[in-house]
Amino acid sequence: MKKYPIPQLDLPLLLAVLMLMLLSSMTVWSASGFSETVITNHLIRCMIALCCLLAMSAVPSHIYLRFSPHLYLLTVILLLAVALVGDSTNGSQRWLKLGFIRFQPSELVKIAIPMIIAWLIHTSGQALDLRKILYALLLAAIPTMLIFIQPDLDGALFALIYMFFVLYFAGISWKIIGSIVAIVATLIPLMWFFIMEVYQKKRVLQFLNPESDPWGAGYQIIQSLIAIGSGGIRGKGWTNANQGPLGFIPESQTDFIFSTYAEEWGFIGSVFLLALYLFITLRILWISCQSEQLYNRLLCGSLALSFFLYTFINTGMVSGLLPVMGSPLPFFSYGGTAMITQGITFGIIMALCRSRPHRIEKSG
């Protein structure tokens, strides 16, 4: 009888993801002004993400190692296609349309770069030297430049961060890390004058002093802070938020969905949500440490930090602790490509973390 692959699921991790999707659906319904179209699309995307999670978790772990270069090459090809024939939205050419499907190939970078860097280190041995670091920089630089010209400075910076997460778990020297931080700090003034666009500079100035332009660049963050503050300790209750549903917060169901959630559930609900994200991150790190294969540990550890990074940036920007960036809240913000990518990512994590190396039994 033919055996079919069985999903390798981590139950605590799966339950935490389902809880995020439940809270997300409730908040999207409220933030969208009770739009049946929006909540229907969101629930469909959640189901697709779960199906992707189940399917990817059933793939044997050695398949991911073998096909890491292929996924990387596919991602680069899709990014090149975006540069040549991609769809433009609000002045940015980031989308690719294939028939009735419209998606953002830069989302694949979240998976492709960690996979190719982990593959590079695994296949060449455990010792991390300068030559491997330079190879890693070269591999990461190609998709980074293709994302940068879209233009998407945030996405380009994230692509490099994904690479450094893998190198960190591979044991990169703190001297090298310190040198890179020093170089980046030196380049910041040059980025301000020669690289950053006008709208990106406005984001930074808005972060430093939102009240300087309360009806312009600072409007969104001010309204977000009003929503979070008005939630108080216990919140106003589900469907009782005002700022998002009444249109005071643009993108209230996408990047700024946490504002509506905090207004409805207050400080207690916000702490619970952040604790849920922290639990997921620590759970991935813990189960990845149990793996006996280097590739699995490097990839899962870097994906855990990437998940935490997006959570930290999103909640930080809506609460005024960080400049505004195009960073959705994982498994929470309304959006198709990001939600499905997260489902694929967690399917890979579970497949790698729950796998067991094949052992050859010795005959008597």
The 10 Å CB-count burial string (b at 16+, else e) for 43-71 is eebbeebbebbeebbbbebeebbeebbeb
* Closest C-alpha among 361, 348, 341 to residue 302: 348
Angle, CA 225 vertex, CA 223 and CA 227 arms, to 5° = 70
Check residue 211 and report its DSSP letter.
G
Check residue 310 and give its pLDDT: 92
Q: What is the DSSP string of 10-77?
A: -HHHHHHHHHHHHHHHHHHHHHTTS-HHHHHHHHHHHHHHHHHHHHHHTS-HHHHHHHHHHHHHHHHH
The separation between CA 4 and the C-alpha centre of its own chain, rounded to angstroms, equals 31
Which pLDDT value is given to residue 358? 44
Q: Measured between alpha carbons, how far is 145 from 353 in angstroms, rounded to an integer?
A: 32
Q: What pLDDT shows up at residue 216?
A: 67
- DSSP notation for 93-115: EEEEEETTEEE-GGGGHHHHHHH
Map out the domains of the chain as residue ranges. Answer: 11-353
Structure tokens of 256?
């700024």
3-state helix, strand, coil split of the chain in percent (to 5) is 70, 5, 30
pLDDT value for 185:
75
Q: What residues contact residue 276 under an 8 Å CB cut-off, 6+ apart? A: 16, 19, 20
What confidence score (pLDDT) does residue 337 get? 80
d(CA 264, CA 127): 50
H or E, element range at 89 = strand 87-89
Task: Say if CB 324 and CB 265 are below 8 A apart.
Answer: no
- The number of beta carbons lying within 10 Å of the beta carbon of residue 86 is 20
Weakly modelled stretches of the chain, pLDDT under 70? 1-4, 90-91, 99-100, 126, 194, 199-200, 206-217, 355-364
